[in-house]
């Protein structure tokens, strides 16, 4: 790219955090009227790059140019005033404010010095229509909305600022597939209007299809930029991980399945579970497929004792099981990796090590006192197991990159060595190399006689990893697929509750 085309440009930018080099002498530029994808493993420096561009962080060295003018933003407000708006991985919405109040929180429309609520509401309705979220009430409180809907409100909030450069940092990873399509359409519209979109995502295929230009980062360095189609997927992944890639999914179960670990019949809870029947055996990875909001989340939470008032029959390890609290479920040998790891899975201000140990204190204690050596060994093992990129295990977990925070959540539950692990979309936001590690860990667990129940929004992952997939629709399991019947087409059809024999 001719550097004069660039709307934003970084020249020789480095950023250090104590001893960690998050960005190392980076040169990068992006054009107006284009979609620029940024790819890299967890901890590669992607978020640091966009935090610098959008005024959250300063650079330790180097220059930033916006429209040819050197800039140094001290806040996101300054970057926004200069046309650069970012949608971050962490949701920035205030749960107790309404949708409309959140969208216009930075610049509410005013009338005679007062916030003009009527106008604000009207503008929110227009923006909600633009992002195809007409079902969302502008007066609803954010805490009433699903994660996917909250993420869409973040997008509306960014659009309200009329960006010239819009940065999306993993902003689509929590969305339903319909919402993802809407966001892609929006990005195409913005590109046609001359906006530069910078798009960070671990969904490789989509980045490849959507973006005009791609840049790969590794270990804080800008490795290469190229135009769409310039490299194939294998070449891109190799650039990202800096080594040859191996088969993405480990081989499936070769040994016969064991005894039934978990058996569920007629499980009901409010409007979400309408009679779920399910069996998970020792030695198998069972997938849960289907569209968002069909009861998967409630099923996993219910089995883990986090829902009140669930009815139905459950047996676990041969005995009657009545889930009553997460603590009791954990004691009985269940573990859950939740959906929203930031709020449900981590104590952000505590250290990485303490977060890993949190559910594991018993196993590293003797006579009720923590054994420092055992604790350190357990932490080191977890970090090694999931290749968590840390400076020191004593650093607060919030200093880790988003993907590395997720690995901490998965590690701490795996360390418990549960009889069954319930996983809610565990590889969302995780890079390709680590995904492979997680698949291998799941397989190792079941080879050792344990069980895995995996909800995933990624059909390829369900097909690649699972021995059997149960598809949920409207609070029930409507289809069970395995062997030759386990295909993407079959999962999609079952997700829509379409049966092969149905008339067209």
Q: Which parts of this chain interact with ligand ATP (CB under 6 A)?
A: 17, 20, 22, 40, 42-48, 389, 399-404
Report the distance separating Cα 112 and Cα 108, nearest Å. Answer: 12
Nearer to ligand ATP, 38 or 478 (CB): 38
Place of tokens 């005995």: 319
Nearer to ligand ATP, 236 or 334 (CB): 236
Q: In the bound complex, what is the minimum distance in angstroms from residue 389's beta carbon to ligand ATP? A: 5
Residue 292's nearest CA partner among 82, 85, 152 is 152
Residue 497 · residue 504 · CB < 8 Å? no
Report the distance separating Cα 178 and Cα 132, nearest Å. Answer: 10
Report the distance separating Cα 383 and Cα 399, nearest Å. Answer: 15
Q: In the bound complex, what is the minimum distance in angstroms from residue 232's beta carbon to ligand ATP? A: 22
Report the distance separating Cα 451 and Cα 258, nearest Å. Answer: 10
Phi/psi region, residue 242 (left: phi>0; alpha: psi -120 to 50; beta: rest), is left
Q: In the bound complex, what is the minimum distance in angstroms from residue 462's beta carbon to ligand ATP? A: 22
Nearer to ligand ATP, 215 or 360 (CB): 215
CA dihedral 36, 406, 56, 152 (to 10 degrees): 60
Nearer to ligand ATP, 434 or 479 (CB): 434
Q: In the bound complex, what is the minimum distance in angstroms from residue 40's beta carbon to ligand ATP? A: 5
Nearer to ligand ATP, 53 or 187 (CB): 53
Report the distance separating Cα 126 and Cα 379, nearest Å. Answer: 50
Q: In the bound complex, what is the minimum distance in angstroms from residue 388's beta carbon to ligand ATP? A: 9
Q: In the bound complex, what is the minimum distance in angstroms from residue 261's beta carbon to ligand ATP? A: 32
Report the distance separating Cα 47 and Cα 69, nearest Å. Answer: 23
Q: In the bound complex, what is the minimum distance in angstroms from residue 401's beta carbon to ligand ATP? A: 3
Helical residues (DSSP H) of 54-90, grouped into ranges: 76-81
| 393, two tokens | 């295990």
Q: In the bound complex, what is the minimum distance in angstroms from residue 405's beta carbon to ligand ATP? A: 8
Nearer to ligand ATP, 138 or 402 (CB): 402
Report the distance separating Cα 16 and Cα 292, nearest Å. Answer: 39
Question: Which residue has the closest beta carbon to ligand ATP?
Answer: 403
Beta strands 334-337; 420-424: pairing state: parallel
Angle at 500 between CA 495 and CA 501, to 5 degrees: 135
Angle at 125 between CA 119 and CA 131, to 5 degrees: 140
Q: In the bound complex, what is the minimum distance in angstroms from residue 259's beta carbon to ligand ATP? A: 38
Nearer to ligand ATP, 88 or 104 (CB): 88
Residue 36's nearest CA partner among 235, 226, 232 is 226
Report the distance separating Cα 223 and Cα 242, nearest Å. Answer: 10
The SS3 assignment for 13 reads strand
Q: In the bound complex, what is the minimum distance in angstroms from residue 38's beta carbon to ligand ATP? A: 8
Nearer to ligand ATP, 357 or 400 (CB): 400
Residue 13's nearest CA partner among 54, 64, 50 is 64
Nearer to ligand ATP, 9 or 401 (CB): 401
Report the distance separating Cα 196 and Cα 318, nearest Å. Answer: 58
* CA 240 to the chain's CA centroid: 19
Q: In the bound complex, what is the minimum distance in angstroms from residue 209's beta carbon to ligand ATP? A: 20
Nearer to ligand ATP, 40 or 295 (CB): 40
Nearer to ligand ATP, 137 or 206 (CB): 206
């Amino acid at each position: 790219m001719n550097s004069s085309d660039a709307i934003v440009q970084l020249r020789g930018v480095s950023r250090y955090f104590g001893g960690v080099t998050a960005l190392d002498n980076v040169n990068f530029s992006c054009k107006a009227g284009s979609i620029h994808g940024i790819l890299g493993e967890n901890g590669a420096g992607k978020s640091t790059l966009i935090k610098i561009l959008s005024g959250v962080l300063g650079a330790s060295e180097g220059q930033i140019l916006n429209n040819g003018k050197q800039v140094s933003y001290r806040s996101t407000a300054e970057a926004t005033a200069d046309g650069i708006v970012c949608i971050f991985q962490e949701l920035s919405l205030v749960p107790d404010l309404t949708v409309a109040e959140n969208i216009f929180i930075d610049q509410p429309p005013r009338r005679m010095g007062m916030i003009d609520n009527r106008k604000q509401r009207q503008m929110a309705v227009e923006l909600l229509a633009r992002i195809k979220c007409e079902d969302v009430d502008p007066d609803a409180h954010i805490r009433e909305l699903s994660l996917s809907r909250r993420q869409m409100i973040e997008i509306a909030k960014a659009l309200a600022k009329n960006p010239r450069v819009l940065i999306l940092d993993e902003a689509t990873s929590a969305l339903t597939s319909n919402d993802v399509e809407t966001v892609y359409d929006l990005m195409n519209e913005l590109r046609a209007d001359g906006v530069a979109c910078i798009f960070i995502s671990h969904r490789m295929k989509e980045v490849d299809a959507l973006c005009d230009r791609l840049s790969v980062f590794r270990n804080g360095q800008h490795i290469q930029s190229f135009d769409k189609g310039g490299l194939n997927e294998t070449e891109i992944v190799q650039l990202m991980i800096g080594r040859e890639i191996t088969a993405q999914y480990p081989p499936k179960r070769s040994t016969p399945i064991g005894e039934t670990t978990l058996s569920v019949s007629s499980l009901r809870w409010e409007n979400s579970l309408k009679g779920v029947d399910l069996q998970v055996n020792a030695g198998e990875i069972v997938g849960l497929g289907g569209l968002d909001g069909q009861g998967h989340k409630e099923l996993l939470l219910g089995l883990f004792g986090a829902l009140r008032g669930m009815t139905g029959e459950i047996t676990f390890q041969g005995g009657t099981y009545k889930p009553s609290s997460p603590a009791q479920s954990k004691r009985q040998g269940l573990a859950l990796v939740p959906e929203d790891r930031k709020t449900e899975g981590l104590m952000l201000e505590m250290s990485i090590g303490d977060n890993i140990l949190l559910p594991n204190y018993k196993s590293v204690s003797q006579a009720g006192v923590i054994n420092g050596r055992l604790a350190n060994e357990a932490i080191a093992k977890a970090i090694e197991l999931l290749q968590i990129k840390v400076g020191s295990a004593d650093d607060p977990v919030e200093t880790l990159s988003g993907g590395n925070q997720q690995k901490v959540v998965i590690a701490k539950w795996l360390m418990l060595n549960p009889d069954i692990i319930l996983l809610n979309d565990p590889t969302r936001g995780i890079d390709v190399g680590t995904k492979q590690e997680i698949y291998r860990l799941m397989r190792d667990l079941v080879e050792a006689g344990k069980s895995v129940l995996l909800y995933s929004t990624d059909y390829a992952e369900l097909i690649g990893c699972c021995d059997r997939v149960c598809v949920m629709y409207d609070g029930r399991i409507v289809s069970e697929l395995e062997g030759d019947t386990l295909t993407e087409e079959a999962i999609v059809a079952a997700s829509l509750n379409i049966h092969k024999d149905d008339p067209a």
